Chain A
Amino acid sequence: MAEPTAPAPPPTPPPAATPMLAVERLAVSFAGVPAVREVSFEVGRGEVVGLIGPNGAGKSTTLLSIMGAAPLVGGEIRVEGESLRGRRTEDIARAGIALVPEGRHIFPKLTVEENLELGATSARGNGGDHLDAEIDVRELFPVVAEFRHRQAGALSGGQQQQLAIARALLARPRLLLLDEPSLGLAPSVVEDVWATLRAIRARGVTILLVEQRAQITVQLADRSYVMTNGEIRAQLAPDEAEDMEKITTAYFGASAEGGR
């Protein structure tokens, strides 16, 4: 069935200096309780940026607010200079931003094929193809190709994660958001997921990666931000991945000063 073609904004090539994603003084509250306080950061085109920090730091909330799925109380979110504030989740997805949500959220009763088909929804919509990179999902995700007629719920946790990432890539996004892709997976499987992320990265996809596994995220990302208590506390470069002291201080600095 053909999608109705809404009038798409004229494609103006952004100046090179415009970052892919700019989050400016983002503030989110749930029922008056602040979850994200004045967070600002940028992701450049083709960059991989990590957002690490303990549970409840506001990392997932930051991703959800980019997707228009969290109650913003302040701040601005721009993709290539264009504001996303007030836009609906599905329209943000169609504008070329794909989220692989925490817990994967594949459709377990649908087949692998149907899950992938749904992933292509945004690329087919008025958003169109936002990805410069050449990505062959079948080559990158052999598991997904092998089990395409199987129910997605029958796949293992690691395979489901691969499916969730493949599904997001089929949207041909300009920005890929990943929320804890290693959560709940066995260590050997985590390594597979990480290999996939490296492969995607090598193809030039812009990625914002939220993770609790600090060290391997800092290693993979061009730069990582440490978020605790709704605020960004520190920024780490890949060569600081071995500097456990710095990571630990960034994580627990505030509470350590509090005399715990």
Chain B
Amino acid sequence: MNWLQTLVDAIGLGSVYALVAIGLALIFGVMRLVNFAHGELITAAGYTLVVAHALPVPFAIALAVIVAVVLAWLMERVAFRRLRDAQPATTLVATFAVAFALEAVWLIAFGARGESADLLSNLNKPAIQSGDVTIRWVTIAMLGVGGLLLGGTTLLLNRTRIGLQMRAAAADFRAARLLGVRADRVISVAFVISGVLAAAVAVLLTAQQPLVTPTFGLEITILALVGIVVGGMDRLTTATMGGFAIGFLNSLFGNVLPDDLRVYLPSAVFLVVIIVLLVRPVGIFAPRGSGAAERL
């Protein structure tokens, strides 16, 4: 048992969960939609890497990004756009429907056992070795890509015109439209960004562990969603921190718990979640005395 090693690995995985959280929080912020189908974007990118494993790595990654972005855009265009004025429960069920429909597609196309996307397994080699602590390339990639995409998203939101429009739409969609902000455009851009983030998650996850199954993206999405709710869904920063925390804890407990207790890991995580929500319903990272206010 090496505590430092466990911690290093947990930080890496936490970054990946944070990326999932940003994608989910962006869509929730702009259109109040909890997109359960976000995981299918990750899975789609994962299977793209499986299919494209013979291509040079940059091309395979580019293809995965394109597939996830196009699928994200299509999802909104075909399924969610016409439900924009529907009850939240209706749209939530619609995202479930999209998720399960796509999962059926993966099952039919690729089977239940899973396929290997091992084009980045080289990243599992050690980059830095010091005593009994090994930092693998994949951990560095997770931190680097996570930081880069978080920074990029923040810059886009805070420094560009479309970013400003997204923040305005997140705060008061009707007021934004009254000023001429195009609802369709703002929402499409949010979905495209969530597609890019999902592809990055797929690349990082397969680099660590190449097996892609039909529920590849769903599991991490549900956990990240829990993290977002615990962290504070109403703000991009708190949602990201919540995503990181849940990924970090999951990796930590996974390594610390003895094998025969590991089956209880999800139960343990959800127990923590229930306690947190009972004590701080707005989220642990939300500022004191804050209600629902700014969303991005």
Query: Interface residues, chain A, CB within 8 Å of chain B?
Result: 1, 67, 69, 88-90, 93-94, 98-99, 101, 105-110, 114, 117-119, 121-122, 125, 127, 167, 171
Contacts and interface: CB of A to CB of B under 8 A. Distances in A.
A127 B180 contact: yes
14 contacts: A90-B177, A93-B177, A99-B178, A105-B178, A108-B293, A109-B171, A109-B293, A110-B168, A114-B167, A117-B164, A121-B179, A167-B179, A171-B179, A171-B180
Interface of B: 160-162, 164-165, 167-168, 171-172, 174-183, 293-294
A55 B181 CA distance: 30
Contacts, number: 69
Contacts of B167: 107, 110, 114
B180 A121 contact: yes
A134 B294 CA distance: 35
A93 B179 CA distance: 6
Contact of B180 (A69, A107, A122): A122
A109 B171 CA distance: 8
A89 B171 CA distance: 17
A119 B176 CA distance: 9
Contacts of B176: 118
Contacts of A88: 177, 183
Contacts of A106: 175
A90 to B, nearest CB: 5
Nearest to A99: B178
Given A1-B161, A109-B294, A118 B178 contact: no
B179 A119 contact: yes
Given A69-B177, A109-B293, 9 more contacts: A69-B174, A89-B174, A105-B175, A106-B175, A107-B167, A109-B171, A117-B161, A119-B179, A171-B180
Interface of B is mostly: helix
A99 B175 CA distance: 9
A236 B117 CA distance: 77
B165 A118 contact: yes
A125 B181 CA distance: 9
Contacts of A171: 179-180
A61 to B, nearest CB: 14
A118 B164 contact: yes
Q: Which of A99, A109, A118, A167 has the most chain B CB atoms inside 10 A of its CB?
A: A118
A1 B293 CA distance: 27
Nearest to B158: A114
A150 to B, nearest CB: 15
B161 A93 contact: no
Contacts of A114: 164, 167-168
Contacts of B181: 90, 118, 121
A33 B160 CA distance: 43
A67 B176 CA distance: 13
Contacts of A127: 180
Contact of B172 (A69, A99, A107): A107
Contact of B168 (A69, A118, A122, A125): A118
B97 to A, nearest CB: 27
Tell which of B167, B175, B180 has the most Cβ of chain A within 10 Å: B180
B161 A89 contact: no
The 7 closest A-B pairs by CB, nearest first: A122-B180, A93-B180, A105-B175, A109-B294, A121-B180, A89-B177, A94-B180
A129 to B, nearest CB: 13
A1 B189 CA distance: 12
A121 B165 contact: yes
A122 B177 CA distance: 10
Contact of B171 (A67, A93, A94, A110): A110
Contacts of B171: 107-110
A89 B162 contact: no
Contacts of A108: 171, 293
